[in-house]
Amino acid sequence: MTLRIPKAQLHGEISANLVKQFGAVPEPFEVTAHNPKVAQDSSDLGSRVSEWDMADDGLKTFAHMAVAARVGCSWCLDINYFQALHQNLDLTRASQVPRWRESEVFTPLERDVLEYAEAMTNTPPTVDDELYAGLLDRLGPAAMVELTASIAFANMATRNNSAHGITSQGFSDACGIPLASRPETSESGQSGTETSGMVTTTI
């Protein structure tokens, strides 16, 4: 897939800072820059989401990856995989998020979080009382609210990027272990796209 909108020209200093941070200018920044208010507010929201600290960062990263795999946003999938590396998460597990149902590397809590992320992402959502109650009991109210809001933000980011035609840039090549492909499912009728490295920013 190619971008459906041309990249906006970024100020030289902004580009330099992004290259210093990510190694390349993330395409979501170049696309969103067409509308400075949207770009600034999106960046601010993403930064605030990343500062929430009542839920485990690893669980939130896996949840975002699960949303990205479900929606088909290879950019968000790879950036979050890249972030998993820098969070010192177990990359053997992180690499298996796109096929978590078939994998045996996840803990019961992680599996329920991944299921919750997918259930929230389905249209219409398929969250049930049992799944929600089980997570609430183990995480507590504050972390449950944060996890839910994080997954909702992931849906915004992944669907925004997918609609613009933004795909992997290769950021997560640094992870070493390739991301697994999402298997075909009866729900989507489509196989997951295997991606190789790219970072998901928070816009």
Give me the helices (H) in 35-73, please.
36-51, 57-71
Element (H, E) at 80: helix 74-86
Average pLDDT of every residue of the chain: 89
Q: What are the tens digits of pLDDT across the range 137-147?
A: 999 999 999 99
The per-residue b/e assignment along 25-45, b for 16 or more CB within 10 angstroms, e otherwise, is bbbbbbbbbeeeeebeebbee
pLDDT for residue 11 is more than 90: no
Q: Where are the domains of the chain?
A: 10-51, 54-175
pLDDT for residue 108 is more than 50: yes
pLDDT for residue 18 is more than 90: no
What integer pLDDT is reported at residue 183 of this predicted model?
83
- Residue predicted with more confidence, 191 or 118: 118
What integer pLDDT is reported at residue 20 of this predicted model?
87
Give the whole-angstrom CA distance, residue 83 versus residue 200.
8
Nearest to 75 by CA among 184, 191, 172, 183: 172
By percentage, how much of the chain surpasses pLDDT 70? Answer: 90
CATH 3.40.50.720 corresponds to the domain 54-175: no
Q: What are the tens digits of pLDDT across the range 147-183?
A: 999 999 999 999 999 999 999 999 888 898 999 988 8
What integer pLDDT is reported at residue 167 of this predicted model?
95
Residues in the chain, overall count: 203
Q: What are the tens digits of pLDDT across the range 179-197?
A: 998 887 544 433 333 333 3
Model pTM? 0.87
Q: Which of 16-20, 47-51, 105-109, 161-165 has the lowest mean pLDDT?
A: 16-20
Average pLDDT over residues 74-99: 94
pLDDT for residue 7 is more than 50: yes
- Tokens read off for 9: 């020209």
- Residue predicted with more confidence, 198 or 102: 102
